[in-house]
Structures are given as C-alpha cells and as structure tokens.
Amino acid sequence: MRHARRNVQRIARFAAIGGLVCGGLMVSHAVASETSDDPKAPNAEMLAARTGQELVADLGTSRTAGSWIDAKGRPVVAVTDAEAAADVRGAGAVPKVVRYAMKDLRSATDTLKDAPKVAGTSWAMDYASNQVVVRADTTVSADEWDRLAKVAESLGKSVRMERIEGTFTPRVNGASPLFASAGRCSAGFNVTNGQANFILTAGHCGPVGTTWFSDQQGSQQVGATVSGSFPGGDFSLVQYSPGVDLSGADLVAVGDGQGIRIIGSADAAVGQKVFRSGSTTGLQSGEVTGLNATVNYPQGTVTGLIETTVCAEPGDSGGPMFANGLAMGITSGGNGDCQSGGTTFFQPVSKALDSLGVKLVTEPGAGDQASPSSGSTGNTGSANSGAGAAAPPGTSSTAPGGAVLPGGAGPGDTAPEGETDSVASALERVADFRSLGPGLFVIAGSLVALVALRIRSERGRRRYRNQYSQSWG
C-alpha cells in the first residue's frame, strides 16, 4: 500500500514539474510573439549572425575561415585548431574544424584576381565547404575554361570550379521606375549627407551626369547621378531635384500597397534569409551563400559583393536587399530569372555608405540636418513593388504594369501592421496579462501542487519514523 502511495506521489510530482516547463514555454512564446513586432529588436537569426561575426573577429583570420548560420539557426564558425573550437563552443556557437584558414582562402582569391579576366565568371568563398567556388556561365568558351582551370589547379583543393546556366549580367534594361537614356533601374534606399538627399542605387545604372525620370516620356524629373563606382564597386548616388517630396522615405515598397520600414543597416551573414524588392519582380526572398564575391561582368569586374539565391530580372537593378528591417545590399546582377531561379549579387550597403559619405535617412542624426523636403523618418508610407525613394509631387505611386515610380510612397498611405510608430513598447506588451496569464496560471498551479506534495511527503515520513521508532523500542 505504501509503495502504491509512493508511485502516485511520484507521478503527481512529475506532472507538476511538467506543468512548470509547459507554463514557462507558454510565457516565452507569449513574450516572443508580443515583442517580435518591435523592428529594433534583433531576431534569433540576426543574433546568430552577430555571434559568428564577433567570434571570427576575436579569433583572427589565421584561426578561422568564416561563419554562417546552419539549418537550425545556430551560428557555426570554421576553425583551424582545437583550442579555437573550444573557444567557439564556450561562446555558445558550433565549431567546425577545417583545413584552410581565412588567410589561405583570401590568398586563393588574390591569385584568381591577378589572373587574366574572363567575362562571365565569378568566385566567392563557400565557408561550409572551406573552399573558394569559381563559377563560369554559358558565355565562357572551352579554352577560357581550361585556362581558368589551370589557375584553380595550382591552388589545390581550396578552389572548386562549377559551370552554371545563363549569363552573368547587370540587371538593367527592363521595366523600371527610374528611366534614363543609359537604361532603366529600380531606386534603392534614401540617404542624406546632412545637406542634400539622394537615392542610393546601382552604379552600373548610369554614369555621373545621368538624368533620371519617373516616367518614360521624361516629363517628371527625379534627379541626376552625382557620384558612384562601376566597375570596381556597384553603387551610385542620384541627387533629388529641388521640390521632391520625401514623405515615407524610410520605407521599402514590397507590393500590394505595403512597405517595410528600414531602421538601420547591417552586414549580411552566410546562411541568412534575406529579401529583395524590385520594380520588375516585386518582393523575392532567398539565402546568402557567399561574401566578398567577385563577378566579371562583360562591362568590368566588381568585387566585394554578397552572393545569394534570391532571383532577379532586368529592371530590378539598384533595388534594395534587406532583412529584419535592416538595409544590407543593392541589387547588382546575376544569372537566371524568377521562374527558373539563379544567383544574384548585391553591393553591400555598408561599404557604399562609407565610400560615399552618406547615411540612411533612418539612422540617428542622419535626417536632423537634411533639407525640409526630407520629411520625418517617423512618417508612414507605402508603395507597390519597387524600391523606396520618395515620389515627385503630383505623380502616382504606381506606373503601368505595376512598376513603381521612385519611392512610390505618400503621406496618405500606411505601412504594414507592426511597422507604424504607434506600436506599443516591448515592456508594455510584456506587461499585458492577457497574453501572459495562461502561462503564469499554469506555473502558479504547478508550484502549489509541488508545495502540497512536499508537505504531504514530509508528514508521511514523520508518521512512519514515529511508528517505526515505537515498534523498535
């Protein structure tokens, strides 16, 4: 009988402990769901990316070979020795011991860079395989492939070569909200130097002096290209013409009248999910597969790019790439399309901003000294597919075929739910008992049950000791 009572108590105790765990999970889920709308709160993927990048920076290029985010969302760091692996593991990341350090992979890319240029080729570091992957499109001849293969063979197993379908081209000459004689492109992010406002877009879209219009007839002037880099880099600044309205300048249009507020910039991480918006294909998503990529376009070589699986088509050039409300890249070029897929390369935003001496209009202090036409970064706005510079007064936010005029955003539009300035703070949401109540109730009930079981068990033990001591005496 006593054993049966013990079994019942043991089952009840396990049930109470299980209730504590379930209640904790319910509270965690409620907190996560209620605070995830705060665009300034980094999500798990961003935290994983930051952890990996910081570990690589701390351990150095002779002991690491990059970091990435695995399928489970964990930061993985390639290391060259057991001590570095222990450091990575102690920091809560996953170590992977590899043969080649970052300095070896960079040496391989330097050798490839010094070799004769072959248009239609690219290379980028594949951290997971610990190799530099060289890719050649269908325009590369057999002789050119053989010459490049000899260079790769001289570098050993640190280099891998692949053939791909399609051709590497800058994404110009399609339907686009920015029209010029040099081609058509998508606007990127709104930026400022404190005195004037600009559109940050791709450098290959047009040289300095190119005048851009929001309509194909050339009746609505947006601005002119005042600086940029291509080839080498792939970024440029289009200075707004006087009188252009920048309402909703901190939004990136994603289609269906929706916009995503950009709150800052960040560097991309391998394995990270990212989004791209362009006036031809709208909102698309994919994964970062490589950093510091080099692409040999027919027009010239561009280095330091982000390699992704996001699709793009002509007209998407210059459009923004972002994740978690952070600006990361500007669409440069690639191969394939949004039916068959392909590879798309992006100019990192951080490098472009530093080179041009500008800031996103959403960054602290960036808009404080801007002209009155810049508007407030707290304004709401939206646009259809395309990128997010402000539309000239009197123009529509949409163009024929669904293309968006520069910044198709207006003071009367609204951003998606969760992107407005009236969103409650994280602390206020956590304090909402309606969201946390069920979990807290389960925890409280489980604690009461555990205390009751403990008291009952102690009483039983005392009663048994008293009875045993009397019979023994």
Catalytic positions are: 204, 234, 317
Maximum distance among all Cα pairs of the chain, rounded to whole angstroms = 110
375 near 382, Cβ under 8 Å?
Answer: no
Residue 267 CA to residue 299 CA, distance in Å, equals: 26
Residue 45 CA to residue 49 CA, distance in Å, equals: 6
Number of Cβ within 10 Å of residue 10's Cβ equals 11
Q: Check whether the bond before 400 is cis (ω within 30° of 0).
A: no
Please, what's the b/e burial string for 99-124 (b: 16 or more CB within 10 A of its CB; e: otherwise)?
ebbbebbbebbebbeeeeebbbbbbb
Residue 87 CA to residue 57 CA, distance in Å, equals: 13
* Residue 178 C-beta-side C-alpha neighbours within 13 Å: 39
Contacts of 228 (CB under 8 A, 6+ apart): 203, 207, 208, 235, 236, 237
Centroid of chain to Cα 339: 23
3-state secondary structure 72-115: CCCEEEEECCHHHHHHHHHCCCEEEECCCCHHHHHHHHHHHHHC
Beta strands 326-334 and 344-348 are antiparallel
Beta strands 169-170 and 326-334 are antiparallel
Residues facing residue 161 across a β-bridge: 134
Residue 467 CA to residue 471 CA, distance in Å, equals: 6
Residue 360 CA to residue 353 CA, distance in Å, equals: 8
Residues facing residue 329 across a β-bridge: 348
